[in-house]
Structure 1
């Protein structure tokens, strides 16, 4: 079973993604292809929030100015680059300068990125800035495997600052528009 198939069991898709991704434009602007598991994730789930805690960033073109002042792949990447220079790192990361691309963040202000230094996107490890500990950690897995391991509580310790997703399944991902639609109906999107 692939990691995407496993994640389907742990977080069943609720609806098809709302808009296709223009991968050619996104990848041209970043100067690299993106990992196949992230592309598959976007085809199955699309961007959104997992259980109101963890935000999966939409793939967006790299531009001079972020598309939104409230977050997104570019703004979170700029934040990650700033945090990298001013925070602690686990010993294996000391003295390194990875090429960061953020794909996730959470309500505890953790930032989840790839180290996109390798020419092969399938080799990009996940780097997590755990704000609670004030330290960057490396996880030698892809984006989807990372989510599977968090939802199954399979890491030696929770890589995030909060236990909201640790060992939690089934989990739910809602797109921003689905979350807004439920709120407009007077429903709490996360207790339905």
Structure 2
């Protein structure tokens, strides 16, 4: 039995980070009210040196302009905050241990592995029901990375686009949720923590 459900491809992949964030804001209009007027100033050099890899520009832009938030009382997205970059990387490493277990348990024709393996999976979001949303890293520019969904029920599937466009397409209903519930286009929680100086 193969746990891989399949791959969904966006009609048009959004390569410009600003386009992807604007698409998410169209899909979730109330998100605009949480947008910061200036970037928060995350030290991405620290994050990426500690992690050992650069991260996609769309995700970096989203983290710079929005606090941690939950979409539709389901999908939890939050990145590092200024002053907590090393702790965020440590948390990501701990999540990678769980990803390694899930990859080992999956019955896939083409086995998946966690980062730092070549093309390994790197988590970028979770759900409150235990699903994990990951990038499939690669030798290509991080702007070309695709997404993988590891469902708590054992199903795996891919999305041939970036993380922020994935969120917009999932919430807007462009994507089939494949083992996930429908995600309402609302922000059900936003971090009230102020960025650290």
CA offsets 1:19-69 (integer angstroms, 9 cap, x no match): 531101001111111101001111222323223311113247567x94xxx
Q: In structure 1, list runs of 5 or more residues that go unmatched.
A: 67-71, 179-192
* TM-score, scaled relative to structure 2: 0.71
Instruction: Give the match's secondary structure for 1:75.
Output: helix
| Residue 77 (structure 2) pairs with residue 77 (structure 1) | no
Aligned-partner Cα distance in 2 for 1:160–1:6: 23
| Residue 68 (structure 2) pairs with residue 23 (structure 1) | no
| Residue 144 (structure 2) pairs with residue 123 (structure 1) | yes
1:2 aligns with one of 11, 15, 19 = 19
The equivalent of 1:177 in structure 2 is 192
Higher relative contact order (CA 8 A, sep 6+): 2
State the Cα distance separating 1:162 from its structure 2 match.
2.1
Root-mean-square deviation (Å):
2.6
The equivalent of 1:142 in structure 2 is 162
The equivalent of 2:127 in structure 1 is 106
- CA separation of 1:160/1:54 partners in 2, compared to 1, >3 Å: closer, same or farther? farther
Aligned-partner Cα distance in 2 for 1:159–1:42: 26
The equivalent of 2:63 in structure 1 is 42
The count of corresponding residues between Structure 1 and Structure 2 is 163
The equivalent of 1:95 in structure 2 is 111
* TM-score, scaled relative to structure 1: 0.73
Aligned-partner Cα distance in 1 for 2:23–2:64: 15
Moved more, 102-111 or 11-20: 11-20
CA offsets 1:74-113 (integer angstroms, 9 cap, x no match): 3323211221111233x5xx23444121011102211001
State the Cα distance separating 1:145 from its structure 2 match.
0.8
Q: In structure 2, list runs of 5 or more residues that go unmatched.
A: 1-17, 114-118
The equivalent of 2:12 in structure 1 is none
Contact kept, 8 Å, 1:88 with 1:136, in 2: the verdict is no
